[in-house]
Structure 1
Amino acid sequence: MLFSLASCSNTNNSSDGGANTSGNENKTLKIVAAIGNKEDIFKQFESDTGIKVEFLDISSGEVLSRALAQKGIPVADVWFGGGADSFMAAAKEGILESYVSEEAKDISDRYKDKDGYWTGMSIVTTGFVVNNDVLEEKDLPMPLKWSDLTNPVYKDEILMPNPNISGTSYSIISSLIQACGEEKTWEYLIELDKNIPYYPQRGGEPPQKALTGETAIAISPLDGEQIAKGEGFNVTNVFPEDGIPWTVAPVAIFKGAQNMDEAKAFVDWSLSKKGQETIAKFSPRIPVKEDLEIPEVLKDVDLNKLLDVDIFKAGEDRDDILSVWNEKIAK
């Protein structure tokens, strides 16, 4: 099994705000993760619980592909972050362990699996990362809406990740379909495709290329972490005026996890007040718990522009939507 794990350790095992660390010093948890600044999040978990973390940074679509390929052998103990559609597909295939954390009781049913196979931690918004220098150099207008991106002046100047791999990219397509209907959305995506030279296999590649000026516009997750990455670069972060697609980033336990007790402890911690505050600090996103404040970096986002999305329908439609995308657009 090709699974190269990075180790994240912290010798300061303070129990302030966390679980009892007694007896956990030699415990190790294996996590596959698609979330920013995960090293800092895991260090705080280790400090609070005494449980060490080894992790692999991997997109949610790739996690699903690996899990399906080695069905019966867990990819890791915990799956942390990524698009909810992949978690739904994994639950349907019997890859995930049902676990209803006590910490999930005040999370809306809209953001969690009813049988406890996964629980949403945060809402991931999407938008455009735009390089101002490239726009100026090539005399291109600032895109403010999804409809702007089909303008022929942007030919080969837009990057969007492959939705087969990127949960964020898939969530954009499914959100647009729910908001605008299938016919209009596929017509739109075919026109947009004329301006996209290729579809990267990782969700983080387009915004990174926009930061460095290798592309003018990246269709990207647009959370506090991505906004922070743009500091020091001449970029504009655009939340589209005609609607903001979004998905939920969940946490789940793999069926047959070798470290089941530690996995449950991580789920409990990540959904607890301390865990939620830690995640919001290092990877700022809109919280799923109503009693938590929106991180300062996202307070100017107009939540009224979030598209009316049913993430469960997005999960149900995943295979059909990707099949059409692969037939009409993949290159």
Structure 2
Amino acid sequence: MRDSLQQARVLLRPQMRLFYLLGCVLALLAACGSPSQSSSSNSSTGSTATCDKSTGLTLYSAQGYDSDAAKAFQKQTGIAVKLVDDSTGNLLAKISAERNNPRWDVVWFDGNVTMQTLDDQNYLLKWTSPSASNYTALGTQNTPSDHAYYPTGVTAAGAIVYNKKHIPAAGLPKDWSDLTKPAFKNLLAENDPAYSGPAYPFIAGIAQSMKGEDQAKQFFQQLKSNGDKIFQTNDPTLNSVETGAREFAIIQDSAYYAAVKAGQPLGIIYPTSGVAALPSEIAVSAQSRHQACAKQFVNWVLSAQGQSVMTHHDPTDGDTYFIDIINGVTPVVTRQTDGINMITLDVPKWAGVETELKQWFHDNIVQ
């Protein structure tokens, strides 16, 4: 779950090349020999083949707790796991480059919009995990109908963070529209969706809650006119509030909880009109040669046993602060879970316009 940890949908190093490579990666996923539709369809809960434990599976992941999970799964089951840990963008580039000879069996990163793109291009296996019965209502809401990928936890793509020691005379906003008022001029910072993974789902959530792209574009233009400052990712955006350069920041909420754990005197506001849910997602390759092992890993991640490993991850890592969506899980870290109006995105819709909306944001808000 990388943002400052480089969690953008098409985040490729070096950073100054990222925006231009966005179109290239999406084009590769869309047009360059994606797997056939027939290879992606499998409605069974298991594979006819058995899992060769010594061969195991290859996991492509951008999650902070992926190493903990891989080691625990291997220890508990005896199934070997080869972990390739990288940014989401780099993993997408690898998946595209390997389209004719995929080397991955399972992929795991933040963002259902991004995962939907892989699904649309037939990279993912459609199958029913028996562990899906473990979901809470929030987990079920964020599971696609074709079961090509499964949520493993949820955070808010964007919430308003402030420094408790620098509350401005204007007071605290209650909803997104408050940030456009003159009293909040030159007080806000947010992330650039060309670099920040959670930024685009946040934009999509604004558009969905405001009933349209045009309304969302007007909102962001109003923010710009009111002095909104754009930083690349969560870290510099949050730092602007910590240092007092800005009074409010729109960031992924898990980054806030990690900063508070580190001792920062911050507060958080979940706007009343809603915040976009940002699920972490896991999926099996439609062309995996080790589907039986891959499915076992996904089933384990969606169990209370697998989730326990994730919740016991490093409390200074923002990835640990997800809202659990599996019944029977007891969180170790503390975060707000109640009183949040969580918006479940219309994923196919926003996946279809992502490139256009990001380009518009760059041309009209960042520039």
CA RMSD of aligned residues (A): 3.7
For residues 228 and 327 of structure 1, do their structure 2 counterparts lie closer, same or farther at Cα, with a shift above 3 Å needed?
closer
1:150 aligned to 2:180?
yes
Deviation string, structure 1 residues 92-113 (Cα, Å, up to 9, x no partner): 1223333432212454653223
Deviation string, structure 1 residues 97-145 (Cα, Å, up to 9, x no partner): 3343221245465322333321112222231232334x35x76743443
Deviation string, structure 1 residues 6-53 (Cα, Å, up to 9, x no partner): xxxxxxxxxxxxxxxx974675633221x4444444443343234345
Deviates more, 1:243-252 or 1:48-57: 48-57
Aligned length: 306
The aligned residue for residue 131 of structure 1 is 163
The aligned residue for residue 202 of structure 2 is 172
The aligned residue for residue 358 of structure 2 is 322
Question: What residue identity is the alignment partner of 1:198?
Answer: I
CA distance in 2 between counterparts of 1:205 and 1:315 reads: 27
CA distance in 1 between counterparts of 2:171 and 2:250 reads: 16
For residues 324 and 306 of structure 1, do their structure 2 counterparts lie closer, same or farther at Cα, with a shift above 3 Å needed?
same
**Runs of 5+ consecutive residues of structure 2 not aligned to the other structure:** 1-11, 14-50, 314-319
Question: What residue identity is the alignment partner of 1:197?
Answer: K
Among 258, 279, 282, the residue aligned to 1:251: 282
Among 125, 149, 169, the residue aligned to 1:118: 149
Deviation string, structure 1 residues 276-314 (Cα, Å, up to 9, x no partner): 3333443232233466567772355304x2236433433
Counterparts of residues 182-261 of structure 1 (less than 5 Å): 182=212, 183-194=214-225, 195-200=227-232, 202-203=233-234, 205-207=236-238, 210-211=241-242, 215-223=246-254, 226-231=256-261, 232-257=263-288, 260-261=291-292
CA distance in 2 between counterparts of 1:70 and 1:328 reads: 35
1:311 aligned to 2:347?
yes
Deviation string, structure 1 residues 45-98 (Cα, Å, up to 9, x no partner): 343234345342424x56445544664354744321311000001111223333
TM-score by length of 2: 0.68
For residues 89 and 127 of structure 1, do their structure 2 counterparts lie closer, same or farther at Cα, with a shift above 3 Å needed?
same
Q: Percent identity?
A: 19
Among 123, 126, 146, the residue aligned to 1:98: 126
Counterparts of residues 14-163 of structure 1 (less than 5 Å): 24=53, 27=56, 29-33=58-62, 35-50=63-78, 51-59=80-88, 63-64=91-92, 67-68=95-96, 71-72=99-100, 74=102, 76-107=104-135, 110-125=141-156, 126-133=158-165, 135=166, 141-151=171-181, 157-163=187-193
Among 295, 320, 334, the residue aligned to 1:297: 334
TM-score by length of 1: 0.74
Moved beyond 6 Å, runs of 4+ = 293-296
CA distance in 2 between counterparts of 1:49 and 1:56 reads: 21
**Equivalent residue of 1:198, what SS?**
strand
CA distance in 2 between counterparts of 1:216 and 1:39 reads: 36
Contact 1:247 1:311 in 2 (8 A): no
Deviation string, structure 1 residues 180-211 (Cα, Å, up to 9, x no partner): 122322111112234333341x4555335545
**Equivalent residue of 1:81, what SS?**
strand
For residues 28 and 128 of structure 1, do their structure 2 counterparts lie closer, same or farther at Cα, with a shift above 3 Å needed?
same
For residues 143 and 296 of structure 1, do their structure 2 counterparts lie closer, same or farther at Cα, with a shift above 3 Å needed?
same
**Runs of 5+ consecutive residues of structure 1 not aligned to the other structure:** 5-21
**Equivalent residue of 1:44, what SS?**
helix
